[in-house]
Amino acid sequence: MKITFYGHACLGIEVSEVHILVDPFISGNPKASDIDITALKADYILLTHAHQDHILDAETIAKNTNAVIVSNYEVATHYEKLGFEVHPMNHGGQWDFEFGNLKYVNAIHTSSFPDGSYGGQPGGFVIEGERKNIYIAGDTALTMDMKLIPLQTQLDLAIFPIGDNFTMGIDDAILASDFVQCDKILGYHFDTFGYIEIDHEEAKRKFFDKDKDLMLLDIGESIEL
């Protein structure tokens, strides 16, 4: 499994030769200006919720790639009405896709579209892929529901928002890592705008002090699991 960070909460995931793109927000992110969205591959676009900083480029990329948009029922239906191929899910539900098993799990946050219309309830995703399992928390507070994940899935990587203000910050993400029983963390949803700027060294040190590994990737950088 290869995971590429495209800035903010946008990830590219390559598993079993399938390309997954999560929460595309690139054209609106000046820090990601080196990423060419027309060059991105996507068989599936996963959307955690309807906020602008997670869906901005979904339509453009879905048009370019014919990707299937996977999200909660309300977000999926929104894109279905626009003519896109979708796969609606809801909390606690899972489905076997060609890349592995995908479960839509709880997140504590909000989920309105940029025009204020209802975007369902926000979520995260657990992917049980070929030999590796990951949890993409989405925008969320620390929540006890995270403790449910390791009852069913032994995670190899947890991807947590760490920018604070709109989501968990560093200290809550450390507790979240205990809750999901995974000490290997990829941080996202930080530095994009002023409210969520973090001190990278301090963040890494806080995880390190708890015997955990926080990875912070440069935009465009990849890791292999």
Give CA–CA dist 177/182, Å, rounded. Answer: 5
Any contact of residue 23 with Mn ion (CB under 5 A)?
no
**Displacement of CA 4 from its chain's centroid (Å):** 11
Return all residues near 96 (Cβ < 8 A) that are at least 6 apart: none
Burial 190-209 (b: 16+ CB within 10 A, else e): bbbeeebebeeeebbebbee
Counting residues that bind Mn ion (by CB under 5 A) gives 2
Pick the stretch among 89-97, 98-106, 133-141, 190-198 that binds Mn ion (CB under 5 A): 133-141
At residue 21, φ and ψ (nearest 5 deg) are: -120, 135
Any contact of residue 139 with Mn ion (CB under 5 A)?
yes
Q: Which does 74 bind (CB under 5 to 8 A by kind): Ni ion, Mn ion, none?
A: none
Closer residue to Ni ion in complex, CB, 88/163: 163
Q: Do residues 136 and 52 lie in contact, with contact meaning Cβ atoms separated by under 8 Å?
A: no
Any contact of residue 53 with Mn ion (CB under 5 A)?
yes
Shortest gap between Cβ of 171 and Mn ion (angstroms)? 19
Closer residue to Mn ion in complex, CB, 95/118: 118
Closer residue to Ni ion in complex, CB, 133/140: 140
Closer residue to Ni ion in complex, CB, 42/137: 137
Residues that bind Mn ion (CB under 5 A): 53, 139
